[in-house]
Structure 1
Amino acid sequence: MTIQINSNYLEKYGKEYASIVCEGFFASKKYMTGQDIIQLTSSTQVNFFIIKRLFELWQDELAKLKSNPYFDYRDIAVHEALTQFMNVLSRRIKVERAHIEPLIETAVIQSIQLATDPVWYYQSEIEGAPEGKINEYLKENKKYYKWHDRVITFLIDKAGFGHDKSEYLRAISANYQVVKDSLESENLLLATFGDIKAFNLDAYRESVATEEPRKSTASHENDSSTSFFDQMDAAEDTPSKNEGKEEIKEETPKLEKEEPVFSTPKTNDRGNGASLNIAALKSRFASESYNGMKGVIGDLSESLAINQRFMFTKELFDGNSDLLTHALKSIDECRNFNDAIDLVNSRYVNELNWETESEPVQEFLLLIYRKFDDV
């Protein structure tokens, strides 16, 4: 038996997901702006793939203007004026539902493909890059790659201009073998879709008797010197819509990038069998005089201080703010402390290789303890 990708399920899921997002957003608004898109869903990769497509459309518009044979676009004054105009235009993103919904659908499909098969996705990106300008293409688009980016970012400025596409494709495949054990779990990445609509990985991957080829599926308001897309480098770590409003400007720590092709991968030892003891945790926190602090915290997703969010993202969630956001929201939905710790045990302790006695883990657990008043 082999595994075949169910493209029909993927396309149907992407369409339904985009419809649900739009139903919620456009119930109270007529247009979607660039800043709305950045915080549109809990899956940062989806948000940035939408922005990536808008950037491509923006470039297409610029190319159309320059193709006009009646004006000299090489003239310095024309060039400066055109640059200012395009930058202002980029900061006035204003999209109605009929035009943004298909972009969301495509972004969801691409994000799932990236989460489940990063080699195939990034090789497809190389295949679509302009001939002879692969390095420039990767440098321009690296800010839009949020998941499994270590598979590809090491190539930038390191492969040399003489390398053809086939060499890039081989390098991606080789580097994936080096770094794959330190990449985020596909299950954790896909779990970020659950806030809108749960994704069924088993339905996506079907067992079949014969293997078939995979099918592709297709603010500086007054500063005209920069575009909205240039600002993505600064905005790429903006928290998603589920994070506290007071923390919108927080920067999320990043994983180390530019891993060499043949470097020794970092070990992660996931699934080491560790488990949190609920009774022991209750006893410990009770003995430390935290009983009077039970039930004083509302939603964890809204209560973390900036330094706590920074620490938990870096130390407990592999530098991925999406995973922290989803974990907090899932814990908030638990009925009691026991259920919350069961959730942490089943989803995060082993999957993310937590050192259960470490200070970040204990501080995280203390917040959970303080949230519930039935301990």
Structure 2
Amino acid sequence: MSVKINSKYLENYALEFSKKISEKYFSSKKYITGSEILNLTPSKQVNYFVIKSLFENWQIELEKLKSSPYFDYRDNHVHQALQDFMNILSRSIKIDRTNFEPLLMEAVAFSIILALDPITFYKSEFEKLEGHQVNQFLKENMKYFKWHETLVSNLVDRAGMSQDTAAYKKVLFNNYEVQKDQLQRPEELLDVLKEVLYLDYDILFERIEAKVEAAESSSNTPIDSPGQSVETSQSESKESFKEIQEGENLEKIEDSKPELEEDTDIKEEFATVEAPATTQAFKAVDPSKAIDPLQTWARFESEQYSIMKGTIHELSESVGINQRFMFTKELFDGNPDLMKHALKSIDQCDSFMEAVQLINERYVGELSWDKNSEPVDEFLQLIFRKFDQRG
């Protein structure tokens, strides 16, 4: 069982939720502190995701510091000083409404996605990182996961051993198959949000029956859609995890290695590794199902989007968080690397006509896109905004 999330409703709900909470809190206060964030909303998960975002921003600032060629950030004394500094900062959080509201909005959206589709959520977290960084990421972030955390809790290896991302995702899928009947229902998790703002489940999502092959032979293989069914057992799940713990190529991290030494940038939404170029023949698209670039351009020009053409410079830098989730799941078989590669390929096109021709040739037929669907239409809108000429 999987779900299809209405991304526009999700985005609007997260926006209105964050506005309502912020208006109430900031009506009497100018700043919010860390302890107040932990009790801000009725949802513990939303509150902790805000803190998680702050931690990720700290990591980004730390990476900027470590990029200096003049200081040794591997030194144990420096490492301890940074740890102390971070502890002080964690007790000195002070954010005004302008900077806080976007954090809360993101936390609400991510919480809803985690409740509805934990496989997609956790898989996207893994995709931000190289395989050897997943273990460290989980060790640092498990405390922020309050919903469906059992799906990843046994992936944390305190001895510091790690495996590639595909191995972690395989165990994640197996964990889901073992636990899916015991996981808390999304409605039960999300009901707490209704205490702030009514959430219409009929609009937010629809259930979809689907089947998946969970095994992923390599990181280049398109990742199957999350939440789908595979034939597995609890013993198979344990055996898969054993492969991670005992595999011959596991990399051990020395106990003396500073905990913050990993070159991680966990604020990146998706992995920066591009999907490798392929020479395989794409599935030919049925002419009746192909997107007509002339009609599409004319339609967008006649609508409110006309003034927006040419306003996007790089597609790969302009897709929002909710759009990334929707496009990845609905258009690119759940594979964020495939979507990233598509965006970069479109960015290299010289005109709208060339870009639409490219997606017809590579994706419409190959991935069975419905040209009249909402995700395709929204994707085409972004492409229209990328180019100022039809070609």
State the Cα distance separating 1:61 from its structure 2 match: 1.5
Partner of 1:94: 94
On the 8 A contact 1:62/1:86 being kept in 2, the answer is: no
In structure 2, what residue type is equivalent to 1:32? I
In structure 2, what residue type is equivalent to 1:46? V
Partner of 2:178: 178
State the Cα distance separating 1:80 from its structure 2 match: 3.9
**How do 1:177-216 residues align onto structure 2 when only pairs under 5 Å count?**
177-205=177-205
Instruction: Find the residue that maps to 2:154 and give its secondary structure.
Output: helix
On the 8 A contact 1:52/1:144 being kept in 2, the answer is: yes
On the 8 A contact 1:4/1:206 being kept in 2, the answer is: yes
CA deviations 1:296-338 (Å, max 9, x no partner) are: xxxxxxxxxxxxxxxxxxxxxxxxxxxxxxxxxxxxxxxxxxx
State the Cα distance separating 1:184 from its structure 2 match: 1.3
Partner of 2:10: 10
Q: Percent identity?
A: 46
Q: Would the alpha carbon gap of residues 148 and 82 (structure 1) be closer, same or farther in structure 2, given more than 3 Å must change?
A: closer
On the 8 A contact 2:130/2:164 being kept in 1, the answer is: no
Partner of 1:132: 132
Q: Would the alpha carbon gap of residues 63 and 160 (structure 1) be closer, same or farther in structure 2, given more than 3 Å must change?
A: closer
Instruction: Find the residue that maps to 1:152 and give its secondary structure.
Output: helix
Partner of 1:47: 47
Partner of 1:121: 121
State the Cα distance separating 1:119 from its structure 2 match: 1.2
Question: What RMSD in Å do the two structures reach over aligned CA positions?
Answer: 2.9
Q: Would the alpha carbon gap of residues 79 and 5 (structure 1) be closer, same or farther in structure 2, given more than 3 Å must change?
A: closer
Q: Would the alpha carbon gap of residues 161 and 94 (structure 1) be closer, same or farther in structure 2, given more than 3 Å must change?
A: same
Structure 1 CA distance for aligned equivalents of residues 155 and 108 of structure 2: 25
Q: Would the alpha carbon gap of residues 260 and 18 (structure 1) be closer, same or farther in structure 2, given more than 3 Å must change?
A: farther
Instruction: Find the residue that maps to 2:111 and give its secondary structure.
Output: helix
Show structure 1 runs of 5+ residues with no match: 216-258, 264-375
On the 8 A contact 1:42/1:192 being kept in 2, the answer is: yes
In structure 2, what residue type is equivalent to 1:70? Y
Partner of 2:260: none
Q: Please, which moves more after superposition, 82-91 or 120-129?
A: 82-91
Instruction: Find the residue that maps to 2:94 and give its secondary structure.
Output: coil
In structure 2, what residue type is equivalent to 1:118? P
Structure 2 CA distance for aligned equivalents of residues 91 and 38 of structure 1: 12
Q: Would the alpha carbon gap of residues 69 and 123 (structure 1) be closer, same or farther in structure 2, given more than 3 Å must change?
A: same
Partner of 2:30: 30
CA deviations 1:27-84 (Å, max 9, x no partner) are: 1111010001111111100000100010011111222222223334345554444433
Show structure 2 runs of 5+ residues with no match: 209-222, 226-233, 239-391
Structure 2 CA distance for aligned equivalents of residues 77 and 3 of structure 1: 49
State the Cα distance separating 1:14 from its structure 2 match: 0.4
On the 8 A contact 2:46/2:107 being kept in 1, the answer is: yes
In structure 1, what residue type is equivalent to 2:202? D
Q: Would the alpha carbon gap of residues 165 and 24 (structure 1) be closer, same or farther in structure 2, given more than 3 Å must change?
A: same
Structure 2 CA distance for aligned equivalents of residues 181 and 144 of structure 1: 23
Q: Would the alpha carbon gap of residues 205 and 133 (structure 1) be closer, same or farther in structure 2, given more than 3 Å must change?
A: same
On the 8 A contact 1:126/1:134 being kept in 2, the answer is: yes
In structure 1, what residue type is equivalent to 2:54? L
Q: Would the alpha carbon gap of residues 158 and 91 (structure 1) be closer, same or farther in structure 2, given more than 3 Å must change?
A: closer
State the Cα distance separating 1:125 from its structure 2 match: 1.2
CA deviations 1:219-238 (Å, max 9, x no partner) are: xxxxxxxxxxxxxxxxxxxx
Partner of 1:111: 111
Structure 1 CA distance for aligned equivalents of residues 224 and 102 of structure 2: 22
Q: Would the alpha carbon gap of residues 186 and 12 (structure 1) be closer, same or farther in structure 2, given more than 3 Å must change?
A: same
Q: Would the alpha carbon gap of residues 169 and 28 (structure 1) be closer, same or farther in structure 2, given more than 3 Å must change?
A: same
Partner of 1:168: 168
Structure 1 CA distance for aligned equivalents of residues 66 and 104 of structure 2: 29
Structure 2 CA distance for aligned equivalents of residues 127 and 204 of structure 1: 25
Q: Would the alpha carbon gap of residues 42 and 86 (structure 1) be closer, same or farther in structure 2, given more than 3 Å must change?
A: same
On the 8 A contact 2:131/2:162 being kept in 1, the answer is: no
Structure 2 CA distance for aligned equivalents of residues 78 and 156 of structure 1: 26
Partner of 2:20: 20
On the 8 A contact 1:58/1:90 being kept in 2, the answer is: no
CA deviations 1:144-190 (Å, max 9, x no partner) are: 01001111111112998453211211211111111111111211111
Partner of 1:222: none
On the 8 A contact 1:38/1:48 being kept in 2, the answer is: yes
In structure 2, what residue type is equivalent to 1:200? D
In structure 1, what residue type is equivalent to 2:42? S
State the Cα distance separating 1:96 from its structure 2 match: 0.5
Instruction: Find the residue that maps to 2:30 and give its secondary structure.
Output: coil
Structure 1 CA distance for aligned equivalents of residues 17 and 159 of structure 2: 38
Structure 2 CA distance for aligned equivalents of residues 116 and 15 of structure 1: 18
Q: TM-score, normalised by structure 1?
A: 0.53
Structure 2 CA distance for aligned equivalents of residues 206 and 182 of structure 1: 20
In the alignment, is residue 83 of structure 1 matched against residue 83 of structure 2?
Answer: yes
In structure 1, what residue type is equivalent to 2:129? A
CA deviations 1:257-301 (Å, max 9, x no partner) are: xx97647xxxxxxxxxxxxxxxxxxxxxxxxxxxxxxxxxxxxxx
Structure 2 CA distance for aligned equivalents of residues 136 and 81 of structure 1: 20
On the 8 A contact 1:116/1:186 being kept in 2, the answer is: yes
